[in-house]
Amino acid sequence: MNSLLLLIILIPIIEIYLFIKIGSQIGALLTISLIFLTAFIGILYARYEGFNTLRSGMSQLIRNELPMYEIISGAALAFASLLLILPGFATDLLGFLIIFPPTRKILFKNVSKNYSKKVKEKKNYIEGEFEDIEEDNDRKI
């Protein structure tokens, strides 16, 4: 919970700092134009990648396979689109990193390694006792 609160506070501070620094270098009007341009280009590219992911997922469903990567990729693309809609340069950078397929695959590999380590630490069996009951025995279950 504390890390979420810290993120909610730090993200606007980082964005304001970047607005001031970039705005002082290139001007206020150009900074605002750049914010709208990155959001527009990002949304168009996210739409394109979303359709590619949907097409790939449908082809896997036709082959009777479970499209796990496409499901996770679609959720990541939705999150990246949200980051691109938010005004700011840091969120745009993170959104673009998530949208591009090579960086998205690298992020998924890192997350899946961490998740698989946690899953391996858990027990994969259930402890219990059992009793064999013979068929000619009159006991009913």
Length of the chain: 141
CA distance 76 to 99: 8
* Domain parsing of the chain, residue ranges: 34-121
What is the rounded distance in angstroms from the CA atom of residue 80 to the CA atom of residue 54? 16
Measured CA to CA, the distance from residue 74 to residue 81 in angstroms comes to 11
62-81 pLDDT, tens digit per residue, is: 888 888 888 888 888 888 88
Question: Tell me: the pLDDT tens digits for 16-62?
Answer: 999 999 999 999 999 999 999 988 988 888 888 888 888 888 898 88
122: three-class secondary structure by DSSP: coil
Enter the tokens of residue 25: 């270098």
What pLDDT score was predicted for residue 31? 92
Q: CA-CA distance, 93 to 90, in Å (whole number)?
A: 5
State the pLDDT confidence band at 119, using cuts at 50, 70 and 90.
low
